[in-house]
Amino acid sequence: MPRCFWCTDDPLYQAYHDQEWGTPQRDPALLFEMLLLEGFQAGLSWITVLRKRERYREVLHGFDPVQLAAMSDERIEALMLDAGIIRNRLKLKAARRNAQAWLAVDNPARWLWSFVGGEPKINHFKGRSEVPAVTEEAKAMSKALQKAGFTFVGPTICYAFMQATGMVMDHTTDCDRYAALLR
């Protein structure tokens, strides 16, 4: 199956590409999970995060924002000892802060989708050189998220989040998922 240029032969990566990446997602729980995971990825490769995703789900209460918002400093310190996750204190504290900010937003899924006008933005990129790392929509989302109290939500993270959750469809035209998602 032809896939996007970034997808390696790793079965986990291929499954993520084939079943999840770029598929429009409006479920608030999954949007919140993906926003946190994109923040955890900062400075690392996405496959590193994918390999740790299940452990994150276990130790971060299934990404339940209510439980994460109440996470104590002691719990964060305990998580720093867990080799199954990315042990970064700032990112763990950001998860707590982002959960608190998420809970303060009225209808966060609708709000996040508003940065693309409520519908997926369909791109028609032929190759790697055409796919941007940041767009004006991602810059606007980043600015709004930061103003609302979120952290680890720079424009590059926001664009990756938008791609992952199908707010923008950046499968390249030579990828099988491109045609499938156009339908």
3-state secondary structure the chain: CCCCCCCCCCHHHHHHHHHCCCCCCCCHHHHHHHHHHHHHHCCCCHHHHHHHHHHHHHHCHHHCHHHHHCCCHHHHHHHCCCCCCCCCHHHHHHHHHHHHHHHHCCCHHHHHHHHHCCCCEECCCCCHHHCCCCCHHHHHHHHHHHHCCCCCCCHHHHHHHHHHCCCEECCCCCCHHHHHHHC
d(CA 63, CA 38): 13
Residues with active-site annotation = 16, 38, 46
Contact 112, 167 (CB under 8 A): yes
The tokens for 117 are 């006008």
